[in-house]
Homo-oligomer: A and B are copies of this chain.
């Protein structure tokens, strides 16, 4: 049975082209039906072009508005009532809206490469929270030197968390790592500034004993920023302010390193030749570190599946986002989160 995935066609920086092409790639490769939400006149010609006459289960769901990266999240969510995000998420909550070329029935998951703040706010509003969850958490996948991905959460859904929030993030991250990333007994760490229990701020020091006492997770104690990349922990928990600063700092560092390397390579004739010869290696290198391979950040704790991709997503990243959305939906993460946290 194919699974229905809703894609915000107007999310990414170059929307809707990467979304349309990514949807076609996904429909060709996976057992999914993709519903592209957005203005039909923009999507239709691109879809016809991408399909090249092939019949694939990719449909258009009309939405007259969309939220841009420059929109202020809270304001845009209130003002744009027919935004592609809201229409798309309603399809996850209520079933496929009329006007779809596809029949009724709920969609399994929603993916957007759009404004992260707006996506989180809309998802909270439209889908609501899972029973027992106090706050949702945005989880991002980090590449590691071991070649296996690790999960960092929260990276921006909540600032000013309390210890209970961090404990819930640990539970949700642990379930996601097990059921979707297929890590048997995920090692769960608390992001801090030193390994000893005494290291950290008042939030982490209050949270640490609660995580040590928590049943059903393999808690390994404090971990540091550098552990995000060495695979020391599979799931790393932090408050959303700290997590967001960390991922944006990492992004800035990666960008500067790539840029510097390119400039350095250009600076001599010998190295121009070198760069040419190293091209294959660079492609391989880029792939190793490419976030787009991991398909985006799941928003955990809402009643439904919502994945947020990077604004710079290309068609491959969109395709991977659709795959991850389908895996999340099929792995029954939410029922496990609800049963664990409601009984806690």
Contact = CB atoms under 8 A, between A and B. Distances in A.
B264 A285 contact: yes
Given A241-B242, A274-B278, A289-B260, A201 B250 contact: no
Interface stretch (A46-54, A79-87, A226-234, A335-343): A226-234
Interface in A276-313: 276-282, 284-285, 288-289
Copy tally for this chain in the complex stands at 2
A283 to B, nearest CB: 8
Nearest to A145: B256
Contact of A260 (B255, B275, B276, B288): B288
Interface in A251-267: 251-257, 259-261, 264-265, 267
Nearest to A289: B260
Interface string A190-227: 01111010001110100000000000000000001111
A56 interface: no
A244 interface: yes
Nearest to A249: B225
A78 interface: no
Contacts of A275: 274, 278, 281
B225 A246 contact: yes
B242 A264 contact: no
Interface string A168-205: 00000000000000000000000111101000111010
A268 interface: yes
A244 to B, nearest CB: 4
A249 to B, nearest CB: 3
A267 B144 CA distance: 18
A264 B245 contact: no
A253 B229 contact: yes
A293 to B, nearest CB: 13
Contact of A268 (B160, B245, B257, B281): B281
A58 B249 CA distance: 40
Interface string A120-138: 0000000000000000000
Contacts of A257: 254, 257, 289
Interface string A52-90: 000000000000000000001000000000000000000
Nearest to A191: B245
Contact of A280 (B145, B204, B268): B268
10 contacts: A159-B193, A160-B201, A191-B245, A192-B241, A193-B240, A193-B244, A229-B256, A264-B285, A265-B278, A277-B277
Given A201-B241, A274-B278, 8 more contacts: A145-B256, A159-B201, A225-B248, A250-B253, A256-B289, A260-B288, A271-B278, A274-B275
